[in-house]
Structure 1
Amino acid sequence: MSSRDQFASKIGFILAAAGSAIGLGAIWKFPYMAGNNGGSVFILLFILCIFFISLPVLIAEFMIGRRGQKDAITSFKEQAPGKPWYLIGYMGMIMAALILSFYSVVGGWILSYLGRALLFMLSAETTAYGDLFNAIIQNPFEAVLTQGLFILMTILIVQAGIKGGIERASKIMMPALFLFFIVLVVRSLTLDGAIEGLRFMFVPNWDYLNGKTILLALGQAFFTLSVGVSVMLTYASYLGKNENIGGAAINVAVMNIIISLLAGLVIFPAVFALGFSPDQGPGLAFVIIPAVFEQLPMGGFFLILFFILLLFATVTSSISMLEIVVSIAIGDRKASRIRTAWIGGFIIFLIGIPSALSFGVWSHITILGKSIFDAVDFLTNSIGMPIGAFFIALFAGYYYSTHISKQELSTSPPLYYLWLALIRFVSPVAIAIIFITGLLAA
């Protein structure tokens, strides 16, 4: 057994991995994607894509990481000596750092809202929320300050290590996230007219069953599990050899689906009950949700809960992104985790400043017609992650012998061969479609 630091328990690993996957994609992006694409049909397609396309790649990352017991680069070097597969690890580290650089900007926005909610400073005028959001993202001092505070929170957790930092934080934040969600769901479902939101989520409108909705659901399912940047590979490297990676991966996928559905159950019944439209796009969490909660009894309290759980979900994702950078930087050199976390976090903070300023003083700077923030988002989500996931699927599906993958997955023959067929044929084709479509949409 490797002397490498490990998760103290299987549940600690699952909560940490689920926390990485359950971020803004599940709570912020999923509701507005479902809202814009017919609700129930999008949700059904999303669940199917999770199990048949994203989950096989997640299992592959768990397999590579747990087998390697090292950082992403070293794992590939030792498992494929003399071959360039280790470049997947380098790409994962770079993409994770870039994702965290702009992800921390959104984390800063959440801190801005949470601070105002705690101080009861949010406007009483529903129509002012759009102006408030624009004011926050355009204020250079507030944008950079809150981005820095969010990075600081991430550093403080990662520097404490796997057991004392990441696992401990995940064991606190993930159950709290579920608890807060249940409270908000109960409140939302008790509103007059909430049934319309349930119909929107669970009664199919087959007019939306088309190529566009399938493709969008495929993209959401792929990105929501954090595959493609070796984050899950890195977490699995801290997992003991006796753990069932297939079962752990299924638990992570199911938890992600549950949180996504809970996010919908918080938002859509309240949106319909209070006369708003569900197709509000990315502003749903920052513009519409505050306006919705404001109209509820004890709305200020429920709004605080909402932004706390949004913060928890964002932090559990951000620590996984910093961890892959720290893990690779430490390597076998026995470098100080504390020093490495602070240096890595500070560099990522500096890289993220242009994204933080891209809606205000640097809004005139564009890259391929996109703001700096959107350009980094596009580079990571539409190019880097699909490429990484594609080669991870090829490595696990073709480079590994069936003897190795059977041994690592350790499941029944029918389930093993189902996974093998999906990782060799279905997932790579789906990833290629996402990649090509993303490029054409640029």
Structure 2
Amino acid sequence: MARFELKLPKMGESVAEATITNWLKQVGDKIEMDEAVLEIATDKVDSEVPSEVSGILIEQLFNKDDLVQVGQTIAIIETEGGDVVVAKQEATPIAVADVAKTVETAKESVSAPANFSDSDKFFSPLVKNIAKEEGVSVAELESISGSGKDGRITKEDLLNYIKNRGNQPAVAPIAIGTAPVVATQNVAPVAQKAAPVSVNGGDEIVEMDRMRKLISGYMVASVQTSAHVQSFIEVDVTNIVKWRNKVKDAFEKREGEKLTFTPIMMEAVAKALKDFPGMNISVDGDYIIKKKNINLGMAAALPNGNLIVPVIKNADQLNLVGMAKAVNDLGNRAKAGKLKPDDTQGGTYTVTNVGTFGSVFGTPIINQPQVGILALGAIRKVPAVIETPEGDFIGIRQKMFLSHSYDHRVVDGALGGSFVKRVADYLEAFDVNRDF
């Protein structure tokens, strides 16, 4: 018999660790090749870890809710053979060159690994990895004043702290049974406790799942970070509706993909972002980052009803067929819970289709650190004034609303309004004679 080491696989360039949320197989269970052994979660998506071999699970090296680094062995599977088999593992993309340099100069005497679950603060995987390598305690991390959104500690904050560590005020260790005392001048104000909620006998209390807690935190942080302003515009999409009805069967027959309205809308948004690069930016403190690539996020529903935003990379370089394939692929994998962490990274602007649920328009919350999000309303038949050389008359047209939320810290009304108007112009000028 051989022992196969099942490792936490590489999940993307930006992911260094994951939390075990559920063991699907227990010790003694038989496992087939490619069968899921456990479920894991990053700060973006949930996924499964399949086995690379067939055999019997003989050891679980971590428990549920444990945090595991990419490349660590998480289970042992007994297979036919004679030697220990180690899963192939690519180098873990934990940090860029300057972080690697810092890690190389780490002190040899490192204290026991810090248990970051003891802290109420959020620390990114990158920050936690650097802290572990440098022997920075949880108490020290909590004492650092973060420059990121919502006061979070960035890589630069931690590296600056490590660089000037000898000049930092000492952080007293926390003794059991005593109140923690941190020697620092940057003390965050104590948050007000929420008012107690009255619960009656017939009410049901249900704890938020992990994803809903994350979404809740992101939404509150976005509203607190950005000055949200909205612009609304009504669009005549009659030509688009007629064209899609005419070609959708031929499109599906030729491409093997359904043609929805979403890729058509995404195509117009990508064009408008090229015209108005001031909307394709992000904000980092007092700095504006102008994005080179146009990566469109699209809000999609997960099997549990939560929402996630997978990203279409380089959307401006796709034709309509490519856009349709990308939209369908990400949407289908979101519904099946098969998205990978990298599928949700790198977005520069987001589109959400509130019309799916019958909403005419909405006021979506910005997906930080982006500066804009566009909501697509429901397409409706409405009476409209039609102007012709012979005069005006009333006719039935297919119309929808575009709702644009943007960050008024860096996007003024002229830019925010002009951008959504350009999207509308592209949609109304849609060529009914075009090929797909």
Higher relative contact order (CA 8 A, sep 6+): 1
In proportion to residue count, which structure has more strand?
Answer: 2
Please give the TM-score of this superposition, normalised by the length of structure 2.
0.21
Q: For the pair shown, which has the larger CA radius of gyration, 1 or 2?
A: 2
